[in-house]
A and B are shown apart, each in its own frame.
Chain A
Amino acid sequence: DAGVTQSPTHLIKTRGQQVTLRCSPKSGHDTVSWYQQALGQGPQFIFQYYEEEERQRGNFPDRFSGHQFPNYSSELNVNALLLGDSALYLCASSFGFPEKLFFGSGTQLSVL
Protein backbone atom coordinates (compact mmCIF):
# COMPACT_ATOMS: atom_id res chain seq x y z
CA ASP A 1 0.00 0.00 0.00
CA ALA A 2 1.64 3.21 -1.19
CA GLY A 3 1.70 6.05 1.26
CA VAL A 4 1.42 9.71 0.34
CA THR A 5 3.45 10.46 -2.77
CA GLN A 6 4.58 13.91 -3.83
CA SER A 7 6.20 15.12 -7.02
CA PRO A 8 8.62 16.46 -7.87
CA THR A 9 10.99 15.90 -4.95
CA HIS A 10 13.11 18.94 -5.75
CA LEU A 11 12.46 22.02 -7.83
CA ILE A 12 14.44 25.14 -8.65
CA LYS A 13 12.64 28.22 -9.94
CA THR A 14 13.41 31.90 -10.37
CA ARG A 15 11.53 34.85 -8.92
CA GLY A 16 8.29 35.64 -10.70
CA GLN A 17 7.78 32.15 -12.09
CA GLN A 18 4.89 29.84 -11.32
CA VAL A 19 5.07 26.33 -9.90
CA THR A 20 2.73 23.34 -9.54
CA LEU A 21 3.30 20.66 -6.93
CA ARG A 22 1.42 17.37 -6.93
CA CYS A 23 0.21 14.98 -4.25
CA SER A 24 -1.40 11.55 -4.31
CA PRO A 25 -3.00 10.64 -0.98
CA LYS A 26 -2.71 7.32 0.79
CA SER A 27 -5.21 4.77 -0.46
CA GLY A 28 -8.59 5.22 1.23
CA HIS A 29 -7.94 8.81 2.27
CA ASP A 30 -10.25 11.59 1.09
CA THR A 31 -8.76 14.71 2.71
CA VAL A 32 -5.57 16.46 1.63
CA SER A 33 -3.81 19.23 3.53
CA TRP A 34 -0.83 21.28 2.41
CA TYR A 35 1.85 22.68 4.69
CA GLN A 36 4.89 24.90 4.15
CA GLN A 37 7.98 24.20 6.23
CA ALA A 38 10.70 26.84 6.14
CA LEU A 39 14.22 25.86 7.13
CA GLY A 40 14.47 25.33 10.89
CA GLN A 41 10.73 25.84 11.47
CA GLY A 42 7.68 23.70 12.02
CA PRO A 43 5.17 23.20 9.20
CA GLN A 44 2.61 25.96 8.60
CA PHE A 45 -0.88 25.16 7.36
CA ILE A 46 -1.65 26.43 3.85
CA PHE A 47 -5.06 24.90 3.15
CA GLN A 48 -7.11 21.71 3.20
CA TYR A 49 -9.21 20.06 0.50
CA TYR A 50 -12.13 17.72 0.92
CA GLU A 51 -14.67 16.70 -1.72
CA GLU A 52 -12.83 18.90 -4.23
CA GLU A 53 -13.48 22.02 -2.14
CA GLU A 54 -11.10 24.15 -0.10
CA ARG A 55 -12.36 23.72 3.46
CA GLN A 56 -10.04 26.04 5.34
CA ARG A 57 -7.13 28.29 4.56
CA GLY A 58 -4.18 29.45 6.60
CA ASN A 59 -2.50 32.88 6.47
CA PHE A 60 -1.15 32.60 2.95
CA PRO A 61 -1.71 35.09 0.09
CA ASP A 62 -3.88 34.39 -2.93
CA ARG A 63 -0.73 33.53 -4.89
CA PHE A 64 -1.14 30.13 -3.26
CA SER A 65 -3.99 28.15 -4.76
CA GLY A 66 -4.93 24.53 -4.96
CA HIS A 67 -7.15 21.93 -6.44
CA GLN A 68 -8.43 18.48 -5.57
CA PHE A 69 -9.43 16.02 -8.25
CA PRO A 70 -12.20 13.37 -8.16
CA ASN A 71 -9.57 10.70 -7.39
CA TYR A 72 -8.62 12.75 -4.28
CA SER A 73 -5.19 13.74 -5.61
CA SER A 74 -4.30 17.38 -5.22
CA GLU A 75 -2.19 20.17 -6.66
CA LEU A 76 -0.66 23.22 -5.04
CA ASN A 77 0.02 26.18 -7.32
CA VAL A 78 2.14 29.17 -6.41
CA ASN A 79 2.23 32.20 -8.72
CA ALA A 80 4.71 35.08 -8.87
CA LEU A 81 7.29 33.24 -6.80
CA LEU A 82 9.26 35.16 -4.19
CA LEU A 83 12.58 34.27 -2.58
CA GLY A 84 10.67 33.71 0.67
CA ASP A 85 8.65 30.93 -0.92
CA SER A 86 11.72 28.70 -0.74
CA ALA A 87 10.71 25.88 1.61
CA LEU A 88 9.74 22.24 1.93
CA TYR A 89 6.13 21.80 0.86
CA LEU A 90 4.42 18.92 2.59
CA CYS A 91 1.22 17.17 1.64
CA ALA A 92 -0.70 15.23 4.28
CA SER A 93 -3.67 12.97 3.77
CA SER A 94 -6.28 11.59 6.13
CA PHE A 95 -9.70 10.02 6.18
CA GLY A 96 -11.62 12.90 7.65
CA PHE A 97 -9.97 15.16 10.21
CA PRO A 98 -8.39 15.43 12.72
CA GLU A 99 -7.72 11.76 12.35
CA LYS A 100 -4.21 10.48 11.91
CA LEU A 101 -2.34 12.45 9.27
CA PHE A 102 0.10 10.78 6.92
CA PHE A 103 2.70 13.07 5.42
CA GLY A 104 4.54 12.72 2.16
CA SER A 105 8.29 13.31 1.92
CA GLY A 106 7.68 16.77 0.53
CA THR A 107 8.82 18.88 -2.39
CA GLN A 108 11.88 21.03 -1.72
CA LEU A 109 11.34 24.29 -3.61
CA SER A 110 14.22 26.69 -4.11
CA VAL A 111 13.51 30.13 -5.55
CA LEU A 112 16.55 31.97 -6.91
Chain B
Amino acid sequence: TQLLEQSPQFLSIQEGENLTVYCNSSSVFSSLQWYRQEPGEGPVLLVTVVTGGEVKKLKRLTFQFGDARKDSSLHITAAQPGDTGLYLCAGAEGAQKLVFGQGTRLTINP
Protein backbone atom coordinates (compact mmCIF):
# COMPACT_ATOMS: atom_id res chain seq x y z
CA THR B 1 0.00 0.00 0.00
CA GLN B 2 1.30 3.43 -0.94
CA LEU B 3 1.65 5.97 1.86
CA LEU B 4 0.92 9.68 1.97
CA GLU B 5 2.45 11.89 4.61
CA GLN B 6 1.02 15.29 5.40
CA SER B 7 2.77 18.15 7.13
CA PRO B 8 2.29 19.85 9.38
CA GLN B 9 -0.13 17.69 11.39
CA PHE B 10 -1.40 20.71 13.31
CA LEU B 11 -1.38 24.38 12.33
CA SER B 12 -2.82 27.32 14.24
CA ILE B 13 -2.53 30.79 12.73
CA GLN B 14 -4.19 34.18 12.89
CA GLU B 15 -6.85 35.36 10.52
CA GLY B 16 -5.36 37.02 7.45
CA GLU B 17 -2.14 35.00 7.39
CA ASN B 18 -1.08 32.71 4.55
CA LEU B 19 -0.28 29.02 4.95
CA THR B 20 0.85 25.98 3.00
CA VAL B 21 0.09 22.33 3.72
CA TYR B 22 2.16 19.57 2.14
CA CYS B 23 1.34 16.04 1.03
CA ASN B 24 4.28 13.78 0.13
CA SER B 25 4.79 10.23 -1.04
CA SER B 26 7.57 8.08 -2.45
CA SER B 27 5.05 6.60 -4.89
CA VAL B 28 3.45 7.95 -8.02
CA PHE B 29 -0.30 8.49 -8.02
CA SER B 30 -2.50 8.71 -11.10
CA SER B 31 -4.47 11.48 -9.40
CA LEU B 32 -4.57 13.22 -6.08
CA GLN B 33 -7.50 14.74 -4.27
CA TRP B 34 -7.84 17.23 -1.44
CA TYR B 35 -10.72 17.07 1.03
CA ARG B 36 -11.87 19.17 3.96
CA GLN B 37 -13.60 17.55 6.90
CA GLU B 38 -15.43 19.30 9.71
CA PRO B 39 -16.29 17.72 13.08
CA GLY B 40 -19.16 15.24 12.84
CA GLU B 41 -19.14 15.27 9.04
CA GLY B 42 -17.62 13.26 6.24
CA PRO B 43 -14.84 14.65 4.04
CA VAL B 44 -15.91 16.99 1.24
CA LEU B 45 -13.94 17.00 -1.99
CA LEU B 46 -12.22 20.32 -2.77
CA VAL B 47 -10.22 19.46 -5.89
CA THR B 48 -8.73 16.67 -7.99
CA VAL B 49 -5.36 17.13 -9.70
CA VAL B 50 -4.31 14.73 -12.42
CA THR B 51 -1.44 16.13 -14.47
CA GLY B 52 2.09 16.57 -13.12
CA GLY B 53 2.77 20.27 -12.51
CA GLU B 54 -0.93 21.08 -12.55
CA VAL B 55 -2.10 24.09 -10.56
CA LYS B 56 -5.75 24.65 -9.65
CA LYS B 57 -7.27 27.60 -7.85
CA LEU B 58 -10.44 27.63 -5.80
CA LYS B 59 -10.99 31.20 -4.57
CA ARG B 60 -8.24 31.71 -1.93
CA LEU B 61 -7.05 28.09 -2.16
CA THR B 62 -4.30 27.07 -4.60
CA PHE B 63 -3.52 23.40 -5.19
CA GLN B 64 -0.41 22.11 -6.93
CA PHE B 65 0.51 18.61 -8.10
CA GLY B 66 4.22 17.89 -8.25
CA ASP B 67 5.87 17.32 -11.61
CA ALA B 68 6.58 13.68 -10.71
CA ARG B 69 3.03 13.19 -9.36
CA LYS B 70 4.37 12.14 -5.96
CA ASP B 71 3.57 15.24 -3.95
CA SER B 72 1.09 18.05 -3.67
CA SER B 73 0.56 21.27 -1.78
CA LEU B 74 -2.37 23.38 -0.67
CA HIS B 75 -1.81 27.09 -0.18
CA ILE B 76 -4.39 29.31 1.49
CA THR B 77 -4.16 33.06 1.13
CA ALA B 78 -5.57 35.42 3.77
CA ALA B 79 -6.96 32.61 5.92
CA GLN B 80 -10.38 33.09 7.50
CA PRO B 81 -11.96 31.38 10.53
CA GLY B 82 -14.26 29.53 8.12
CA ASP B 83 -11.19 27.74 6.73
CA THR B 84 -10.81 25.88 10.03
CA GLY B 85 -11.02 22.12 9.60
CA LEU B 86 -9.17 18.90 8.86
CA TYR B 87 -7.53 18.92 5.43
CA LEU B 88 -6.90 15.52 3.89
CA CYS B 89 -5.01 14.58 0.76
CA ALA B 90 -5.81 11.29 -0.93
CA GLY B 91 -4.16 9.45 -3.80
CA ALA B 92 -5.90 7.04 -6.14
CA GLU B 93 -4.32 3.58 -5.81
CA GLY B 94 -5.36 1.29 -8.59
CA ALA B 95 -8.89 1.54 -9.84
CA GLN B 96 -10.80 1.06 -6.65
CA LYS B 97 -9.41 2.82 -3.62
CA LEU B 98 -8.12 6.06 -2.18
CA VAL B 99 -5.14 6.20 0.15
CA PHE B 100 -5.48 9.07 2.61
CA GLY B 101 -2.87 11.03 4.49
CA GLN B 102 -3.30 11.45 8.24
CA GLY B 103 -4.58 14.98 7.76
CA THR B 104 -3.63 18.50 8.77
CA ARG B 105 -5.78 20.04 11.47
CA LEU B 106 -5.99 23.74 10.71
CA THR B 107 -7.24 26.36 13.17
CA ILE B 108 -7.68 29.97 12.13
CA ASN B 109 -7.97 32.31 15.09
CA PRO B 110 -10.02 35.51 14.73
Q: Please give the residue numbers on chain A whose beta carbons come within 8 Å of chain B beta carbons, in ascending order.
A: 4, 33, 35, 40-45, 48, 55-56, 58-59, 90, 92, 97-98, 100-106
Contact = CB atoms under 8 A, between A and B. Distances in A.
Given A45-B99, A98-B98, 17 more contacts: A33-B97, A35-B100, A42-B6, A42-B88, A42-B101, A43-B88, A45-B97, A45-B98, A55-B96, A56-B96, A90-B43, A98-B30, A98-B31, A98-B92, A100-B45, A101-B33, A103-B44
Contacts of A105: 40-42
Contacts of B95: 56, 97-98
A56 B97 contact: yes
Dominant secondary structure of chain A at its interface with chain B: loop
A105 B1 CA distance: 26
Nearest to B99: A45
B30 to A, nearest CB: 8
Nearest to B94: A56
Nearest to A6: B42
B1 A59 contact: yes
B43 A103 contact: yes
A90 B1 contact: no
Interface residues of B, number: 26
A44 B48 contact: no
B42 A104 contact: yes
A48 B97 contact: yes
26 contacts: A33-B96, A33-B97, A33-B98, A40-B103, A41-B102, A41-B103, A43-B43, A43-B88, A43-B100, A45-B97, A45-B98, A48-B96, A55-B96, A56-B95, A59-B1, A90-B43, A97-B95, A98-B30, A98-B31, A98-B92, A98-B95, A100-B45, A102-B45, A103-B43, A104-B42, A105-B42
Which 6 pairs show the lowest CB-CB distances between chains A and B? Answer: A103-B42, A42-B100, A56-B96, A45-B97, A98-B92, A48-B96
